[in-house]
Amino acid sequence: MQNKVDDLVKWLKDQVSEANVNGLVVGISGGIDSAVVANLIKRALPNHSIGVMMPCKSNPDDLKYANQVATAANIDHITIDLTETHEKLFTTVTNVLDQHDVHNVEKDKLADANLRARLRMSTLYTVATNHNYLVVGTDNAAEWYTGYFTKFGDGGIDLAPIINLTKGEVREMAKFLNVPDAVITKQPSAGLWEGQTDETEMGTTYAMIDSFLRGETIPEQDRQIIEAMHQRSAHKREGIKVPN
Ligand SMILES: Nc1ncnc2c1ncn2[C@@H]1O[C@H](COP(=O)(O)OP(=O)(O)OC[C@H]2O[C@@H]([n+]3cccc(C(=O)O)c3)[C@H](O)[C@@H]2O)[C@@H](O)[C@H]1O
Ligand SMILES: Nc1ncnc2c1ncn2[C@@H]1O[C@H](COP(=O)(O)OP(=O)(O)OP(=O)(O)O)[C@@H](O)[C@H]1O
Ligand SMILES: [Mg+2]
């Protein structure tokens, strides 16, 4: 594990040198993926790394866990509350859609959720521009394969250091990096609506996705869910489509 961590830390340092920037920024949610990335960027650039907590109508426990993560990693951190900004923008858009009688309320929950992720992305780039830093993402191999992220939201990043790690490998790395136990053991959640958990929304488990990614045989129903998510999200991995 020490070697894996050292390799990723070196990779991050190399990216900073090649891009000719001053440092790295990550959003710290209180979840395990961002906890690992916060530790990696702190090791790579001890004096030029920053974590940003961005509550947005979030469960207060998230911020509590995020602070535990930042303290354990000894990384500089700031909190920027996006609740009012989100409320203002979302109601402005939906009010105008209402006025034009083109508002599909069935899509509100997903649109509201994805706006939270995109406001976080905009916030991280505002900090990154201010410091001449790169924005570091937290997508792991399971999320990347299934497309379980918001396009240009948490998927809107410059570097993706843990993209080749399964969720199980992220958990092992978190233990090695002394991420607080409570963060390692709690249910993964995008925190985009009350009570959301990744596994309930996806209809399969990270253990299943990890197993599938290792080439193992998994139950047919899980395989179909994973393949369907992969196909539906191909556009997120391929980049912007352009004419020939
Ligand atoms: N074929 C195509 N070619 C090019 N673009 C295409 C497209 N199909 C849709 N699109 C575009 O993509 C959009 C849909 O993609 P997107 O906006 O990402 O939205 P979508 O994939 O529908 O939703 C994001 C999912 O990721 C989950 N999530 C989000 C953020 C964080 C986490 C987490 O684990 O923390 C999880 C969230 O709960 C939700 O299930 C469409 O609105 C459209 O603009
Ligand atoms: N409240 C938040 N404050 C700061 N960043 C956030 C917040 N919510 C989400 N993010 C950012 O979006 C990323 C994607 O969220 P995701 O839930 O996949 O990861 P996680 O919360 O770190 O881990 P877990 O899968 O255990 O929930 C986070 O890693 C983090 O960088
Ligand atoms: Mg989370």
8 Å CB contact between 108 and 94 = yes
Range of the domain at 163: 2-238
Nearest alpha carbon to residue 59 among 29, 14, 89, 19: 29
CB atoms within 10 A of CB 214: 11
**Domain harbouring 55, CATH code:** 3.40.50.620
Model's pTM, two decimal places? 0.97
The predicted pLDDT at position 21 comes to 98
Question: If you measure from the C-alpha of residue 149 to the centroid of ligand 1, how many angstroms do you get, rounded to a whole number?
Answer: 6
The predicted pLDDT at position 103 comes to 94
Helices (H), 78-179: 83-99, 108-131, 141-146, 167-176
Residue 243 lies in a domain: no
Please identify every stretch of the chain with a pLDDT value under 70, giving residue numbers as ranges. none
**Angle, in degrees to the nearest 10, between helices 2-19 and 167-176:** 100
Domains of the chain: total: 1
Mutation choice for ligand 1 from 59, 121, 140, 151, CB with most ligand atoms inside 8 A:
151
| Euclidean distance between CA atoms 170 and 36, whole angstroms | 7
Question: If you measure from the C-alpha of residue 199 to the centroid of ligand 3, how many angstroms do you get, rounded to a whole number?
Answer: 12
Residue minimizing CA distance to atom 10 of ligand 1: 235
Residue percentage of the chain with pLDDT more than 70? 100
172 is in an annotated binding site: no
Question: If you measure from the C-alpha of residue 28 to the centroid of ligand 3, how many angstroms do you get, rounded to a whole number?
Answer: 9
The predicted pLDDT at position 73 comes to 98
Residue 195 lies in a domain: yes
Residue minimizing CA distance to atom 21 of ligand 2: 31
| Euclidean distance between CA atoms 226 and 218, whole angstroms | 11
Residue 45 lies in a domain: yes
Mutation choice for ligand 1 from 29, 33, 114, CB with most ligand atoms inside 8 A:
114
Question: If you measure from the C-alpha of residue 74 to the centroid of ligand 2, how many angstroms do you get, rounded to a whole number?
Answer: 18
Residue 233 lies in a domain: yes
Q: Which stretch of DSSP H or E encloses residue 51?
A: strand 49-53
The predicted pLDDT at position 97 comes to 96
Give me the half-sphere count of Cα atoms (radius 13 Å) on the Cβ side of residue 102: 4
The predicted pLDDT at position 160 comes to 98
Residue 244 lies in a domain: no
Residue 113 lies in a domain: yes
Give the neighbor-by-neighbor strand order of the sheet with 49-53.
76-79, 49-53, 23-27, 133-135
User: Tens of pLDDT along 175-198?
Assistant: 999 999 999 999 999 888 888 899
Whether ipTM exceeds 0.95? yes
